[in-house]
Amino acid sequence: MAAGLFEGQYVWHPAADDRRLASVCVDVRAGRYLSAQEALAEARDDYGLRAHRSLVLASEAADSDLAEQWLAEEPTPEAGLMWARVAVQRALRAADARDDRAEALERIALAACERASQMAPADPTPWVAKLSMARLHDLRDPAPHGLLTAPPGPWQLFSHVLRLDPWNREGHHRFLAFFFTRHGGSVNAAWDVAAFLSQRAPVSSPLRLLPLVSLVESYNPSQLLADRVWEQPQWRSTALAIYQNWLPQVSGYRFTPVLDLAYLAHALFMAQREFEARAVFMAMGPYASRMPWSAFGEPAEQLSRARRSCGLPVPGAG
């Protein structure tokens, strides 16, 4: 799917150019779920699209009782999935805010994920939702052979996701996030896991981006020459290989993978490969994501700085 031309403003909405999803978001905000049922049902055989749509829709529904109402009135697998997604978002939000209701909300979310997985046993998405909560109950299974740091983590839960969908994008990212320092992990463990997982993936897979995600997570502006890390041969070659092997696949996607493209564009820009970064920005069109730019300052300013260096227009420049 072509992202469309940049027309002077960034579009930050996570639906990006999935116009069906953007339309459904409007309905969900208005308290209507029929179009959400249809949009998720048509993605039953496309787990990447199903994960993307359910996550975006849950963020729209998390502050209302729409998911509960939908599940009560129409207990379909899609309603179960939406309820699980909403319940997990509420549990994570409460835990991060140290809300007194956090434990109760986590129990509700775990039950919702279990119910959703029973309603659609082949769908990895409820298990992915459950995986995003692993940091709350600190799952510590022993790591498989092949990792230098052998970091314990939710390996069994992740293995179940992989049995259902071996290259599940969100599952890999949720699992990697367990090892981030902000969730109690370490820089070395996150790098180790990112390298291990990315090397398993096909060369044309967006999972090859995982080390670049880990690199952004470890960014520390107080370290000497912190902004020059991306210029090191290992990181530059990683970004260029993804550019060569994955970027050509993007035009065939059902929606533009804005977040993955943003990490690639950022890495190429930081590695002073403006020619390649420009092509990635053009593939993104007007669509923008807060990460990775927010790790370095105000997202719109950082994105504009990178685009400007690549000779591309930015908002307000006309």
Res. 60: pLDDT tops 60: yes
Res. 119: pLDDT tops 80: yes
Residue 316 CB neighbours (<10 A): 9
- 212's enclosing H/E stretch is helix 210-217
Pick from 73-77, 143-147, 266-270: least confident? 143-147
Rounded to whole angstroms, the Cα distance separating 302 from 227 reads 13
User: Across the chain, what does the average pLDDT equal?
Assistant: 95
In this prediction, residue 139 carries a pLDDT of: 86
Res. 2: pLDDT tops 90: no
pLDDT digits (tens, 9 = 90+) for 10-59: 999 999 999 999 999 999 999 999 999 999 999 999 999 999 999 999 99
The alpha carbon of 316 is separated from its chain's Cα centroid by a whole number of angstroms, namely 29
Could you write out the DSSP letters of every residue in 73-110?
Answer: H---HHHHHHHHHHHHHHHHHHHHTT-TTHHHHHHHHH
Decide if 245 contacts 204 (C-beta within 8 A).
yes
In this prediction, residue 56 carries a pLDDT of: 97
In this prediction, residue 318 carries a pLDDT of: 52
The alpha carbon of 126 is separated from its chain's Cα centroid by a whole number of angstroms, namely 15
In this prediction, residue 137 carries a pLDDT of: 82
Res. 317: pLDDT tops 80: no
In the chain, the percentage of residues whose pLDDT exceeds 70 is 98
Res. 78: pLDDT tops 90: yes
For residue 292, is the peptide bond before it cis, meaning its omega torsion is within 30 degrees of 0?
A: yes
pLDDT digits (tens, 9 = 90+) for 86-110: 999 999 999 999 999 999 999 999 9
Q: CA triplet 208, 243, 50: central angle to 5 degrees?
A: 55
Rounded to whole angstroms, the Cα distance separating 268 from 278 reads 9
Could you give the angle at which helices 34-41 and 19-29 cross, rounded to 10 degrees? 150
Q: CB under 8 Å to 146, separation ≥6 — which residues?
A: 196
The alpha carbon of 310 is separated from its chain's Cα centroid by a whole number of angstroms, namely 25
- 60's enclosing H/E stretch is helix 47-61
Res. 3: pLDDT tops 90: no
Rounded to whole angstroms, the Cα distance separating 103 from 256 reads 36
Res. 257: pLDDT tops 60: yes
5 band by pLDDT with thresholds 50, 70 and 90: confident
Closest residue by Cα to residue 126 from 209, 40, 200: 40
Rounded to whole angstroms, the Cα distance separating 312 from 207 reads 27
pTM for this model (two decimals) = 0.96
In this prediction, residue 251 carries a pLDDT of: 92
Res. 133: pLDDT tops 90: yes
For CA atoms 166, 127, 21, 212, the dihedral sign is negative
Closest residue by Cα to residue 186 from 155, 209, 152, 157: 152
